[in-house]
């Protein structure tokens, strides 16, 4: 809104003073205004209501992996336009603009990393790339991450954050659900652990496929987890939904996930789970006694 002060001869526009981006952030859950550096120190968790802001793929890599390092694979894969999808702008143009804006080629980054010295096949989704939607590239990169687990006999950890299957690729995106599920069945048959981590939001075809098939399913607090959105469900069944419906707490209480881990405790939680599922590793016990990684 612009403010004006009156002059004897004319109205003179007085510009509104603005706060530079990044200094203060308003919590989208409770409305608390938080100093940006304090929010960063708290791992982008609101100090008032503990709402977990979305963070990017590189922040999860820095938070979870030893030395914040990931040996990335398949970075060059990029979506094509098999359906010649019609939109305000062409699909290839949308992909190109999003790649320039985000600095990544698609909505998931995959590779090999370590958690407390244990080698894992790791993947993390990024909601800033077309809502973290799953197209053929996301499905292929997840499939290859699973295959690396099989080939190297190392655990798989996937961090999901997605609006679901990518409509611009139609049936090609839906095919990724079956492809990833088949490979995860092979992983389970080989008795190789898979930990799935759900963040806000995890919805649609990602929820209905690899995100829900972990041997252990972990979620961040207050994450939206579901298939269709609550408004669509409400209009379809014409009933009021329970309070907190589709929150990670509601999903846990109804038996669809195992652990809710605050972001500050997520690395320690994953490390403990990997130890339980794979056996102890030299040098791991001392690091776990030091408390949650930040």
Structure confidence by residue, pLDDT tens digits, 112-147: 999 999 999 999 999 999 999 999 999 999 999 999
Q: What is the dihedral of CA 262, 111, 256, 162, to 10 degrees?
A: 80
Asked whether the predicted pLDDT for residue 17 surpasses 50, the reply is no
73: confidence class by pLDDT, cuts 50, 70, 90: very high
Return the domain boundaries, the chain.
1-53, 55-289
Backbone angles phi, psi at 148, to 5 degrees: -65, -35
The per-residue pLDDT for 231 is 84
- Give the residue carrying structure tokens 């197209």: 135
Cα–Cα distance between 221 and 262 in angstroms, integer?
6
Is residue 98 reached through a cis peptide bond, with omega within 30 degrees of 0 on the bond before it?
no
User: Which tokens is 281 given?
Assistant: 């590793």
Cα–Cα distance between 94 and 161 in angstroms, integer?
20
Asked whether the predicted pLDDT for residue 18 surpasses 50, the reply is no
Asked which of 17-26, 141-150, 173-182 is least confident by mean pLDDT, the reply is 17-26
Q: What share of the chain is helix, strand, coil (3-state, %, to 5)?
A: 40, 20, 40
Q: What is the dihedral of CA 131, 135, 137, 143, to 10 degrees?
A: 110
240: confidence class by pLDDT, cuts 50, 70, 90: confident
- The whole model's pTM is what? 0.87
The per-residue pLDDT for 25 is 92
243: confidence class by pLDDT, cuts 50, 70, 90: confident
Among the listed residues 86, 61, 87, the one whose alpha carbon sits nearest the alpha carbon of residue 72:
61
Average pLDDT over residues 70-84: 96
For 171, other C-beta atoms within 10 Å of its C-beta total: 9
290: confidence class by pLDDT, cuts 50, 70, 90: very low
Average pLDDT over residues 84-90: 92
Q: Which H helix or E strand runs over 25?
A: strand 24-26
Q: Please, what's the b/e burial string for 128-167 (b: 16 or more CB within 10 A of its CB; e: otherwise)?
A: bbbbbbbbbbbbbbbbbbbebbbeeebbbbbbbbbbbbbe
21: confidence class by pLDDT, cuts 50, 70, 90: low
Q: Which H helix or E strand runs over 197?
A: strand 194-202
CATH topology of domain 55-289: 2-enoyl-CoA Hydratase; Chain A, domain 1 (3.90.226)
The per-residue pLDDT for 38 is 94
Asked whether the predicted pLDDT for residue 284 surpasses 70, the reply is no
Partners of 247 in the β-ladder? 224
Partners of 160 in the β-ladder? 198
């Amino acid at each position: 809104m612009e403010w004006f002060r009156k002059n004897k001869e004319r109205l003179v526009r007085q510009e509104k003073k603005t706060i530079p981006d990044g200094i203060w952030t308003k919590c989208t859950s409770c409305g608390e205004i938080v100093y940006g550096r304090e929010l960063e120190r708290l791992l982008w968790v609101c100090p008032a209501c503990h709402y977990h802001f979305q963070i990017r793929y590189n922040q999860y890599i820095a938070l979870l992996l030893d030395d914040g390092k990931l040996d990335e694979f398949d970075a060059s894969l990029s979506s094509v336009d098999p359906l010649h999808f019609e939109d305000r702008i062409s699909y290839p143009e949308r992909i190109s603009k999003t790649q320039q804006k985000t600095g990544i080629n698609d909505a998931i980054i995959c590779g090999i990393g370590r958690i407390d010295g244990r080698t894992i096949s790791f993947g993390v989704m990024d909601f800033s790339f077309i809502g973290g939607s799953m197209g053929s590239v996301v499905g292929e990169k997840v499939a290859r991450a699973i295959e690396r687990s099989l080939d190297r006999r190392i655990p798989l950890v996937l961090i999901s954050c997605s609006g679901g299957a990518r409509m611009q690729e139609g049936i090609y995106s839906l095919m990724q659900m079956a492809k990833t599920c088949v490979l995860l069945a092979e992983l389970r048959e080989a008795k190789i652990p898979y930990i799935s981590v759900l963040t806000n939001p995890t919805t649609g075809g990602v929820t209905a496929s690899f995100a829900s098939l972990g041997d252990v399913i972990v979620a961040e607090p207050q994450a939206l987890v579901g298939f269709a959105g609550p408004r669509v469900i409400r209009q379809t069944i014409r009933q009021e939904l329970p309070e907190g419906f589709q929150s990670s707490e509601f999903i846990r209480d109804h038996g669809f996930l195992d652990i809710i881990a605050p972001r500050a405790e997520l690395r320690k939680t994953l490390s403990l789970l990997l130890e339980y599922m794979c056996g102890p590793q030299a040098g791991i016990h001392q690091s776990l006694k030091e408390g949650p990684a930040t």
